[in-house]
Structure 1
Amino acid sequence: MRVVDTEIPDVKIIEPQVFGDERGFFMETWREDWFNENVCERRFLQDNHSCSHQGTLRGLHYQIEHAQGKLVRSVAGTMFDVAVDMRKASPTFGRWVGVQLSAENKRQLWIPEGFAHGFYALTSRVECVYRCTDYYHPAAEQSVRWNDPDLAINWPLLHGQLPFLSEKDGNAQWFKNAITC
């Protein structure tokens, strides 16, 4: 595996080594000793798997207590994955990183605790899997609006159409009013 830096030093792209031939491929997607040595020391407690139809945007979510670090990848389709720094004391507070993750490129995105996370489904079906460093705690969850002008995230919206959102995501806080980490 190889680590690729992003514009926010704590957010990392991880590219696995893929061994392929006419039968298919094999790759290692997680190895604790390698991750702790090359990215950061973390213990993962929960795995999640979601399926989204094209044009769906999920996020931007984070937990203020029981903050979750997330290791995200697509196992089907292509998505635009976003991490927003919600750490008030951070030099990159309010900045975002967006990365295309797909079943084809097999990249993963490490999003540390203190970041809001969201993604947009670019293909007809996207299956997203991610490991979390803490359990989901609904009472601690916060959401920031996907289209907040203070964040100015450059979402690659298909045909310029508004994304499909959950009611919760449609009613999320503006960044300036959000509780920070």
Structure 2
Amino acid sequence: MRKEAMLALKPKQEIGHFQATTETDSVFYSNSLAGKRWLIAVIPTGNNREVLTNKILNIYKQTEKEFDFNLFTIVGIQEGELMYELSKKFKWPDSKKWIRTYMASQHVFPFVNSGFNIPESYQNKACVLLIDEHSMIRNFYDLNDEKEVKHLIQQLPVFLSLK
């Protein structure tokens, strides 16, 4: 299984350039990803947003004790929602290693598609990207596809332990 994960985690492409305002009103730049390994989660608005945010929380809880990693979530918000209330609503813990940005629902996919050079098969979908310390995308996973989420859970420890 590790051999399969290593093949799946070969560098795919470099991320693009972006900047986003975080929930703490600081600016997060694409070059902020350099030097660290990241799990990037893209969660649009919709009926299953809380299911998707819960998946990310569960992955975080399963992994944080064993591995030191960083998480960047890009979440769509609906009119009238307040950014600072959403992390509480999703029960996401406070952590300096978990960067959160919230943006209007119509901006999520254009931002992600251009800032991360998302392949067509993952564009406009809730997804996870694994990004290495050289800002290279190692893999993509569709959060609405349970088979892909299972692959993410299997491959994440391999990704985080790469030398």
Same fold, TM-score > 0.5, yes or no:
no
More strand by share: 1
With CA pairs under 8 Å and 6+ residues apart, which has the higher RCO, 1 or 2?
2
Using structure 2 for the length normalisation, give the TM-score: 0.31
TM-score under structure 1 length normalisation: 0.29
